[in-house]
Structure 1
Amino acid sequence: MKLKINGEIKTIDHSNEEFIMEDLLEHLGYKPQLVVVELNGEIISPTVWINTKIKNGDCLEVVTIVGGGSYS
C-alpha cells in the first residue's frame, strides 16, 4: 500500500488492502493520544479512528503534540 504521509510517499507492507486509522498510527510508531490527523484534507476525530479505513493512495498529515517550553 502506498500512502503520502506528511508529504512523503511511503510504502506500507500490510496483508490487507485496508488499514484502520488507529492501527496504522500504531504501526507507524505514533502514540494515538498525542497526534492530530488529517486524512485527504479533512481532520479526523479520534472518536472515529476505529471506523476510518485507510486505502492505497490516501494522503495523511500527522501532527504530534509536543509539551514543554519555558516559564518566565
Structure 2
Amino acid sequence: MQLKINGEIKTIKNTSEELLLEPLLENLGYKPQLVVVELNGEIINPKVWISTKINNGDCLEVVTIVGGGSYS
C-alpha cells in the first residue's frame, strides 16, 4: 500500500485486510496523544482513529504537538 505521509510517498506493508489510522500511527512511531492528523485534507477526530480506514493512495499530514515557550 502506498501512502503520502507529510509529503513523502511511503510503502506500507499491511498484513491484515484493513489498515486503521490509530495502529498505523503507532507503527510509524507517533504517540497518538501528541499528534493532530489530517487525512485527505480533513482533520480527523482522535475518537474515531481506531475505526478510520486507510486506503491505498491516501494522503496523511501528521503534526506533532510540542510544548514549550518562555516565561517573562
Q: Which TM bucket (shorter chain)?
A: over 0.9
Q: Name the % identity.
A: 81
Alignment match, 1:16: 16
Deviation (angstroms), 1:18: 2.7
Cα RMSD (Å): 0.9
- AA matched with 1:6: N
* TM value normalised by structure 2: 0.94
Q: Counterparts in 2 of 1:50-61, with a 5 A limit?
A: 50-61=50-61
Runs of 4+ displaced beyond 3 Å: none
The unaligned stretches of length 5 or more in structure 1 are none
Matched residues, number: 72
Alignment match, 1:35: 35
8 Å CA contact 1:17, 1:55 repeated in 2: no
The unaligned stretches of length 5 or more in structure 2 are none
Structure 2 distance, partners of 1:3, 1:18, is 14
